[in-house]
A = this chain, B = another copy of it.
């Protein structure tokens, strides 16, 4: 099978969610047209994207919802155990630890980590906070774990390196700083201020340039 384009990969999770909703609503099959409408893109794009996973559609009918969910989950690696470690228990880290959204969507919290000795040992949202030295242990137990960095910017690079050294292969970075990925580690960044600033830009320029670009790509 050919290499899946980056733009397509970024859309697969969005399709997957729509499909899950449709499955819950008892839909058996769906056409590219319908799926396209529900995620807000072009139907041809949907078909092209899905075709990278294989030829799963039936002409004249559409795609089997359950089957597609299965294939897509497999492609995204969601049939494995996919826990997260939250590193940095400041405001945002605490918030995310108490936010149940991770587990709910198939990414259970494996551990909470902080370097502050006064925080280590505390219990937060059912987890006992451990130190950075416990990383390798955690990774040994959860080989596919994803590191979530919610430390201050100044600590982010060091934490990323520590995660990499401990064998973590994927990092989601909330610290507002560009991280130099350790070798073999992929990093994605989420930055709320950046999102707000982009919105601010388009708001300020709205008057002169009527067009408001579709900004779905922001995650």
**Count of chain A residues with Cβ under 8 Å from any Cβ of B?**
76
Q: Is A99 an interface residue (CB 8 A)?
A: yes
Contact of A198 among B10, B191, B203 (CB under 8 A): B10
B216 touches A178 (CB 8 A): yes
Q: Is A40 an interface residue (CB 8 A)?
A: yes
Please name all residues of chain B whose beta carbon is closer than 8 Å to the beta carbon of A107 when the two chains form the complex.
193, 196
The interface-forming segment of A62-70, A74-82, A111-119, A128-136 is: A74-82
Contact of A197 among B78, B95, B181, B191 (CB under 8 A): B78
Separation of A194 and B218 alpha carbons in the complex (Å) = 11
A82 touches B200 (CB 8 A): yes
Separation of A194 and B184 alpha carbons in the complex (Å) = 21
Residues of A participating in the B interface, judged by any CB pair closer than 8 Å? 3-4, 6, 9-10, 12-14, 16-18, 38-40, 75-78, 80, 82, 84, 91-92, 94-96, 98-102, 105-107, 144, 146, 169-172, 176-178, 180-181, 184-206, 209, 212-213, 215-219
